Structure formats: structure tokens, C-alpha cells
């Protein structure tokens, strides 16, 4: 097993290096910073297309709709990237929701995640690529983050997702595919997660920075299409995940992302920043973008807004600017 794992890893990296050098030769361009983190943050459609049959690669189709839980599987069965396995947000990437206690998409238990990831063939040395049709926000970035939280760093989100793959007329396949079983063992990184109690201590501490990843109108409390209470956590700053993207639905360059997050952080280190959203989906998009920017790894409030509002004693606010306790 040890030799097999090492072989998978070396063969995958050799495959990627070959592709990168081919691209350099063809375009006569220097490798940009976008290639430096490669398969631990993003991967391009070109690189994935040339690596479809590389050994030791698992592709996850994470398409999902919050208003139609069957949407993603229907779309996957109709057409998906060849070799991709469908990852259902509610079933595969979440734990059970407990009314009055948890948010809408609680983290899965390590035991559940181990079983799911093993079934898909994920194990040490295997490269994982996740995609969806929402530029990584639903729910490819969540799958990416879960793997990191559980110790599997060789995971990347397909930049531009399903749309980028489709508009370049790359091969697709219909039907349902399954993976060859592997042996995934979780190695939890507890420092990547914070609780509601910790958020309550951090939210007004100038040594930390709490960010709301939802769209500005939800942060401001103008609209709330999903949860029963509108607004944001008192003391949180607005950092909509959509600002990570270009008009084509791909991620901004690392340089542009760095400018964005340095402005938001105002000198607070990345590891002292915390992101949340409605139910732990789009917040992971911001965590990926900050890592892509080279600023380090921020933390996730795993309950997010839908858990915070379960306790009506927890402070909330409305409006476009962060407020302080009265």
C-alpha cells in the first residue's frame, strides 16, 4: 500500500509537470503564480482535460441547488466530466441537521466522511478535483475544504467549473459512475474550525476579523430567501464570495485576490480571520481564494448564519456596515 501510494503521487505530479512544461513551450510564457499552488487550490480545464486518464485522480461533480435537492444528480446523469463521481451536498458532504441545534448543513462526522471518501477511492497520494456549476461556490469549494479539514491536501477546484468545461466543448459522459474503493483515514485539523462560542468572543476583538461571505443584500438584511431571520452576526464585515470571480466565472488572479483580502483584513493575519455564510458552503469559497492569494489559511465558523440564529440571544445586526455592541 505504501509503495502504491507513493507511486500514485509521483505519477500524478509527473503528469502535471509534463503538462505545465508543454504549456510553457507552446506559449513561451513564464509560469505565473497561478501554477504555484496548482492542485491544492485550483486546476484549469486544459490541465484537467489532459489529465483525465492520469492514475490516482478522483473527480467529484458537486452540482447542487438549495431549492431542488435532486437537481445536481439529474444534471450529472445527463452529462458530466468523464470519470466524475457525483457528490451530493446533503447526503455525502453533510452531517444530519438537528432542528433547533445545528445549521442547515452541519459538518459530517469524520467516520461518515471516511466511509464516503473511501467509497470514492480517495486515499493518500490521490489527487481530487471538484467542480460544480456555480464557479465553485455550490458545492465544490465545500468538498475541497472538507478534504483539507480531514488532512487530504491534494484537492483542487476546477476553475470556472462545469460552464468552463462545457463552453470549450471538452468531452462529457452521461449516466452514473462509481469509483474504485480506497482507504481514506481522517487526520482532523481542528484549528481550521471555530464554534459559535468562539465567534462570540472574536467578533468585536480587533485582533480578529469576522467575515460574512453571502451576497451584500443578505448581509444587510434587505432580503433573506432561505433562513427565517435576516441580517448578519453583529461585528461581522461583508466579504461576498462573488468578488473572487471574473465576469466569466473564473477566479481572479492571485494578485487581484491578494489586493482584495489585504484591504479587508486591514493588517489582521489570515489565521485570525473567520468566514461564515448561510450554511457553510460559500464561506469555503473565500477560504480557497485567500489561500490562492498566498495569504495563508483562514478559519471557518462551521455553524454559520443558520446555526447562529437558532439561539435568539446571539447578537445580530442589519445594515451595510459592521456595527458594535450597544
Catalytic residues: 277
Report d(CA 295, CA 309) in Å as an integer: 30
The x, y and z cell numbers of residue 175, run together, are 449516466
Report d(CA 62, CA 93) in Å as an integer: 9
Residues 6+ apart with CB under 8 A from 312: none
Asked if residue 138 lies in contact with residue 62, where contact means CB atoms within 8 angstroms, the answer is yes
Helix (H, G, I), strand (E, B) or coil at 232: strand
Report d(CA 264, CA 207) in Å as an integer: 13
Q: At 210, which helix (H) or strand (E)?
A: strand 209-212
Is omega for the bond preceding 139 within 30 degrees of 0, making it cis? Answer: yes
CA distances to 98, 303, 315 from 310, rounded to whole Å, are: 11, 10, 11
Q: At what angle do helices 140-149 and 283-292 cross, to 10 degrees?
A: 70
Closest by CA position to 232, among listed 219, 214, 241: 219
Full DSSP string of 82-146: TT-EE--HHHHS-----TTTS-SSPPPPHHHHHHHHHHTT--TT-EEEEE-SSTTTTTHHHHHHH
Amino acid at each position: 500500500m505504501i509503495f502504491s501510494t507513493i507511486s500514485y503521487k509521483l505519477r500524478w505530479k509527473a503528469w502535471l509537470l509534463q503538462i505545465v512544461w508543454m504549456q510553457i513551450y507552446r506559449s513561451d510564457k513564464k509560469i505565473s503564480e497561478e501554477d504555484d499552488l496548482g492542485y491544492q487550490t485550483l486546476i484549469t480545464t486544459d490541465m484537467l482535460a489532459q489529465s483525465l486518464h492520469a492514475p490516482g485522480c478522483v473527480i467529484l461533480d458537486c452540482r447542487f441547488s438549495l431549492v431542488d435537492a435532486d437537481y445536481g444528480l439529474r444534471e450529472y446523469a445527463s452529462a458530466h466530466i468523464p470519470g466524475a463521481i457525483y457528490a451530493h451536498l446533503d447526503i455525502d458532504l453533510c452531517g444530519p441537521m438537528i432542528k433547533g441545534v445545528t445549521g442547515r448543513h452541519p459538518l459530517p462526522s469524520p467516520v461518515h466522511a471516511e466511509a464516503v471518501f473511501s467509497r470514492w477511492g480517495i486515499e493518500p497520494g490521490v489527487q481530487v478535483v471538484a467542480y460544480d456549476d456555480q464557479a465553485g461556490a455550490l458545492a465544490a469549494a465545500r468538498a475541497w475544504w472538507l478534504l483539507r479539514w480531514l488532512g487530504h491536501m491534494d484537492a483542487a477546484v476546477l476553475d470556472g467549473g462545469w460552464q468552463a468545461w462545457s463552453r470549450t466543448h471538452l468531452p462529457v459522459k452521461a449516466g452514473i459512475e462509481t469509483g474504485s474503493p480506497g482507504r481514506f483515514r481522517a487526520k482532523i485539523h481542528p484549528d481550521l474550525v471555530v464554534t459559535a462560542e468562539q465567534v462570540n468572543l472574536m467578533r468585536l476583538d480587533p485582533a480578529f476579523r469576522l467575515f460574512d461571505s453571502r451576497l451584500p443584500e443578505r448581509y444587510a438584511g434587505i432580503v433573506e430567501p432561505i433562513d427565517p431571520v435576516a441580517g448578519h452576526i453583529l461585528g461581522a464585515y461583508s466579504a461576498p464570495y462573488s468578488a473572487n470571480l471574473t465576469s466569466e466565472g473564473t477566479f481572479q488572479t492571485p494578485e487581484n485576490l491578494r489586493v482584495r483580502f489585504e484591504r479587508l483584513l486591514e493588517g489582521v493575519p489570515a489565521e485570525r480571520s473567520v468566514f461564515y455564510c448561510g450554511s457553510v458552503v460559500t464561506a469555503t469559497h473565500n477560504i480557497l481564494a485567500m489561500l490562492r492569494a498566498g495569504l495563508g489559511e483562514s478559519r471557518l465558523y462551521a455553524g454559520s448564519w443558520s446555526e447562529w440564529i437558532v439561539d435568539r440571544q446571539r447578537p445580530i445586526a442589519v445594515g451595510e456596515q459592521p456595527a458594535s455592541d450597544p
